[in-house]
Structure 1
Amino acid sequence: MTFCDPLISLFTETSKTMHFANRLQALEKNVFADMDKAKSQAISNGKTIIDLSLGSSDLAADPEALNAIASSLEDHTTHGYLLHYGTLEFRETVAQWYHQRFGVEVNPHTEVLTLIGSQEGTAHLPLALLDPGDFALLLDPGYPSHAGGVYLAGGQIYPMPLLAKNDFLPVFADVPSQVLEQAKMIVLSYPHNPTSATASLAFFQEAVAFCQEHGLVLVHDFPYVDIIFEGMAQPPSILQADPTKSLSIEFFTLSKSYNMGGFRIGYAIGNAEIVQALRRVKAVVDFNQYRGILNGAIAALTGDQTTVKKTVTRFQSRRDAFINALNNIGWQVASPQATMYVWAKLPQPWENKSVEFCTELVAATGVAVSPGAGFGKQGEGYVRFALVHDPNILELAVEKIAQFLGRINF
């Protein structure tokens, strides 16, 4: 049927190459995608993977939450779309939980927003706050989705270095004045991923004063509110430093405390105008998740907190076993006071080659860890271990790491 040939030829000659948005260029580099490829290659080469690269809890979800979700499945009224008004009971529960925990009153109608995981909120918020070219001040190293949301909004990033000599806290006085003139927001997150550093209420009060002086929205990502170990005081909330909620918003999740990462349930608390702005962005992107998940979250937040206590105990025992094993092979690492991570400075000759260390380690041993460079420029020279296995597996991982390093002292 040769009569079609001229049409095919014409279509081929006049068709254009697809063009994708320029904003995607900033998202092309993804160290963690590269690590996934390295893990897949190691598996194809016969290695058994011990994956310490992802902060996804291996522990069971909160039983009270599971029971509430299971009961909801039999109720057909939970099967439809869930709009904002339908989340009120959950928002009221959040407000009550927060007041009991931190002593700051919260209006569930205007100051709480249900989220599909806190990452959804932190990634969408820049769309509500930034015009193209505006600056966001972010922690370096920091959680990658914080940067991703800024890039999608067309904003610029000023990375605030987190250095060991400063206890991995940013120095606000070091931010250039020309950056502050174009800045609209700052993102903090303590206890911190990846460094596991903690911050005091005095530091947050300094942050609030800095933001008030320069007209910045203060964003605090708070997923590790409960993952704190023996001897460590309760981490403060940013709203304790800004009790009138003059310019702050804080993000929470049930992923870590209640092992509900796969259920994608989180929430924001803060300044009513900021919450409303985020709600407007969210309204054009999604509805809320299944009502049964919110019922499960209500059960978790109002329950006896047994799951939280057991989770913290498990992670503390893992931390102790892992730090002890590392120290025994000569890799001296400070014991973190919070989070589910160990942030370790690489030994020579790997001290500025975190990606190479991680890709070669998984290829040789099957042990997968996260390169510090994946969290920002200041993360180079470090690796992050996620404590997502029990002590015997963590100790086996350290044995394999020792073999990879040649059992040298460093």
Structure 2
Amino acid sequence: MQFADRLAPLQTNVFADMDRAKAQARQTGQTIIDLSLGSSDLPTAPAVLDTIAEALYDTSTHGYSLFQSTLPFRQTAAEWYTRKFGVPVDPETEVLLLIGSQEGTAHLPLALLNPGDFALLTDPGYPSHAGGVHLASGQFYTMPLLAENGFLPRFDEIPPAVLAQSRMMVLSYPHNPTTGYASLDFWQEAVAFCRAHNLALVHDFPYGDVTYTGEPAPSVLQADRDKSVSIEFYSMSKSYNMGGFRVGYAIGNAQLIKALRQVKAVIDFNQYPGIVRGAIAALSGSQDGVQQTVNTFRQRRDAFVDAMTKVGWPIPKPNATQYLWVKLPEPWAQDSINFCVQLVEATGVALAPGRGFGKHGEGYVRIALVQPPSVLESAVQKIHHFINR
């Protein structure tokens, strides 16, 4: 049996690789402290769950859900966005419900790239960004994200020959995995660059609320108020602890929304309407729970960083996301994958190797703060003993 060449670059994945390593560690009797996935351990709000539960007994929710049936959600999302960022949004043409924001970032390249076209991606970056380009038979040029640049790309370093063949740029701030943060000034620069080079500007924005500055992170549409080149993907997974329900949406340029909708129409319908009603309840109800979630992750960040400092391994406190991006000491700095595999085998602590997010992630590990402070402090002790054994 023969398979398509496009599968070749998809043989490995940072999450699948660590899943195998965790399974092997469990077989040897290790108790796993899983800090490798950004899946929140916090509960979905009761009001959201009650709304979904009530929908189960409404037989009108038991059939297929097509685009027109999502209008109440699109209206709610548009209103929420305008309240939050002060940018008017047309729910008919500028919003699209998605089965998680990853559906959007993975499928949009199918609408934008012809075989051989380039997408501009960050390195490190989230794996689905590159995966979508592979599936579209495109090429990608990676923009290095370096600590000395605040983990922001340098647009002036992109080769002109690559720019001539490029159709889209994918950014994501606050950034996973580096925790980098982008100001509104940066977004204005990015919008101007994409306008000048006729690029679609794609912003993956799941951590917009998970900031420790007292303000939400800027939206790209605050720098592109007429939505000339930009589309933004938002997720219900982080702010509302609804990761398992798979609800996200796209907001932005009407042409990009229409193109993504055309791809979606031949691949899937929408998720169960009762879940969508729950998402409406989350966006339209009290937002106190969002701040409680942020406060919880701030406490966990502080607990982990303080514990690391006590064992002689000080690390900076990020201003956003539910992660820490930690530089490995020698001799592990050249092999983050081997470090993570050996760590989970020896201690049960599972981290995500930086190399899994791109070659410029080598030498780092990403730590997801998805456990209570006491468990995080225990993990620090295990990591410390492993390194100094």
**Which bin holds the TM-score, normalised by the shorter protein?**
over 0.9
C-alpha RMSD over aligned residues: 0.8
CA contact (8 A) 2:122 2:143 kept: yes
CA contact (8 A) 2:13 2:127 kept: no
- Rounded Cα–Cα distance in structure 1 between residues aligned with 2:247 and 2:159: 37
Letter in 1 for 2:267: V
Residue 68 (structure 2) aligned to one of 80, 85, 92: 85
CA contact (8 A) 1:331 1:347 kept: no
Aligned to 2:96: 113
CA contact (8 A) 1:126 1:149 kept: yes
Give, in angstroms, the shift of residue 319 of structure 1: 0.3
Say which is worse superposed, 322-331 or 241-250, in terms of deviation: 322-331
Aligned to 1:233: 215
CA contact (8 A) 1:191 1:235 kept: yes
Give, in angstroms, the shift of residue 306 of structure 1: 2.4
Residue 261 (structure 1) aligned to one of 243, 246, 271: 243
Residue 129 (structure 1) aligned to one of 112, 132, 138: 112
Give, in angstroms, the shift of residue 232 of structure 1: 4.7
CA contact (8 A) 1:134 1:183 kept: yes
1:351 match: secondary structure: helix
- Rounded Cα–Cα distance in structure 1 between residues aligned with 2:108 and 2:351: 30
- Rounded Cα–Cα distance in structure 2 between residues aligned with 1:125 and 1:175: 22
2:122 match: secondary structure: strand
Give, in angstroms, the shift of residue 30 of structure 1: 2.0
Residue 278 (structure 1) aligned to one of 251, 255, 260: 260
Residues 336-351 of structure 1: pairs in structure 2 closer than 5 A: 336-351=318-333
Aligned to 1:361: 343
- Rounded Cα–Cα distance in structure 2 between residues aligned with 1:215 and 1:348: 44
Letter in 1 for 2:316: A
Residue 96 (structure 1) aligned to one of 79, 82, 98: 79
Q: What stretches of structure 1 of length at least 5 have no aligned partner?
A: 1-17
Q: Deviations over 1:265-311 (max 9, x none)?
A: 00000000000000000000000111111110010001111221111
Aligned to 1:35: 18
Aligned to 2:165: 182
- Rounded Cα–Cα distance in structure 2 between residues aligned with 1:29 and 1:77: 41
Give, in angstroms, the shift of residue 241 of structure 1: 0.4
2:162 match: secondary structure: helix
Aligned to 2:198: 215
Residue 142 (structure 2) aligned to one of 154, 159, 182: 159
Letter in 2 for 1:132: P
Q: Deviations over 1:328-347 (max 9, x none)?
A: 11112100111000000001
- Rounded Cα–Cα distance in structure 1 between residues aligned with 2:272 and 2:53: 12
Aligned to 1:145: 128
CA contact (8 A) 2:95 2:249 kept: yes
- Rounded Cα–Cα distance in structure 1 between residues aligned with 2:296 and 2:263: 38
* Residue 54 (1) aligns with residue 34 (2): no
Q: How many residues align?
A: 389
Q: Deviations over 1:119-178 (max 9, x none)?
A: 001100000000000000001001000000000000001000000000000000000000
- Rounded Cα–Cα distance in structure 2 between residues aligned with 1:253 and 1:149: 18
Aligned to 1:292: 274
Normalised by the length of structure 1, the TM-score is 0.94
Give, in angstroms, the shift of residue 349 of structure 1: 1.1
2:233 match: secondary structure: strand
Letter in 1 for 2:323: Y
CA contact (8 A) 2:210 2:216 kept: no
Q: Deviations over 1:360-383 (max 9, x none)?
A: 100110000000000001000000
Q: What stretches of structure 2 of length at least 5 have no aligned partner?
A: none
- Rounded Cα–Cα distance in structure 1 between residues aligned with 2:45 and 2:242: 7
Say which is worse superposed, 301-310 or 364-373, in terms of deviation: 301-310
Normalised by the length of structure 2, the TM-score is 0.99
- Rounded Cα–Cα distance in structure 1 between residues aligned with 2:14 and 2:79: 40
Give, in angstroms, the shift of residue 405 of structure 1: 1.1
2:178 match: secondary structure: coil
Letter in 1 for 2:249: Y
CA contact (8 A) 1:232 1:337 kept: no
Q: Deviations over 1:204-248 (max 9, x none)?
A: 00000100111100000000111111x353211000100000010
Letter in 2 for 1:253: S
- Rounded Cα–Cα distance in structure 2 between residues aligned with 1:259 and 1:31: 22
- Rounded Cα–Cα distance in structure 1 between residues aligned with 2:333 and 2:311: 17
Give, in angstroms, the shift of residue 117 of structure 1: 0.3
Q: Deviations over 1:60-110 (max 9, x none)?
A: 012221111011111111111111000000000000000000001000000
Letter in 1 for 2:199: L
- Rounded Cα–Cα distance in structure 2 between residues aligned with 1:41 and 1:168: 34
- Rounded Cα–Cα distance in structure 2 between residues aligned with 1:305 and 1:40: 37
Letter in 2 for 1:192: H
